[in-house]
Amino acid sequence: MAFELPKLDYEYNALEPHVDARTMEIHHTKHHAAYTSKLNDALRGTQLEGKSIEKILSKASALPAAMRNNGGGFYNHNVFWKVMSPNGGGEPGGELAEAIRKDFGSFDNFKNEFSNAAETRFGSGWAWLVKTSGGLKVTSTPNQDNPLMDVSDVKGTPILGLDVWEHAYYLHYQNRRPDYISAFWNVVNWEEVAKQFK
Ligand code: MN3
């Protein structure tokens, strides 16, 4: 019943030059693996053991820090690996494209708002595109928080997420977070984002 580190759908070097292989490997085998095992350690023997990750995160405000931080870290990276692909980039189509136009005015407006959320998140955290009861919204969260958590300013289902912790980009981009954010758009897996939107 314990949570498991997922395998990636692509090789560590598949997202180069946008995300480098060394960063991908350390990020998956060290960072994500640690969140996963620490989450399992924190849950063992508690009433939340065996519950879904969504259910656990929805109670974030009442969780011990080890569950909130590692639970968020486990879930957020699951989203992150899925919304990137070596065949990514471009723009979404279909219903997702329509929803983005309706809620942001245009794809470019959405992209600017999301990039800005990622750039201005102070310290470590995430930028998100969120499906809420009131349509699509962009937000950012600190640390390993996310929009599934009751503590999030914007609540809903994250359908696109970008990790802006320094461990996600520092080896290749050093302090240039905006360059990493620009490069991210080349690997966004819009098919997967559209699937999560439905
Ligand atoms: Mn990370």
One DSSP character per residue, 46-81 reads STTTTS-HHHHHHTGGGS-HHHHHHHHHHHHHHHHH
102 CA to middle of ligand 1, Å? 31
Spatial distance between the Cα atoms of 22 and 28, rounded to a whole number of angstroms: 10
pLDDT confidence of 2, banded at 50, 70, 90? very high
| pLDDT over 70 percentage in the chain | 100
pLDDT of residue 156: 98
pLDDT at 1 over 90: no
Give the strand pairing for 157-163 and 135-142: unpaired
Average pLDDT over residues 147-165: 97
Rounded distance from Cα 98 to ligand 1 centre (Å)? 30
pLDDT at 187 over 90: yes
pLDDT tier, 126 (very low <50, low <70, confident <90, very high otherwise): very high
Quote the ligand 1 centre to 17 CA distance (angstroms).
18
- Compute the distance from residue 198 Cα to the ligand 1 centre, in Å: 26
| Greatest distance between any 2 Cα atoms in the chain | 49
List all residues 6 or more positions away from 112 whose beta carbon is below 8 Å from its beta carbon: none
* Cα–Cα distance, 88 to 130 (Å, whole number): 19
Q: How far is the CA of 153 from the centre of ligand 1 (A)?
A: 21
> In the predicted model, what is the mean pLDDT of residues 164-169?
98
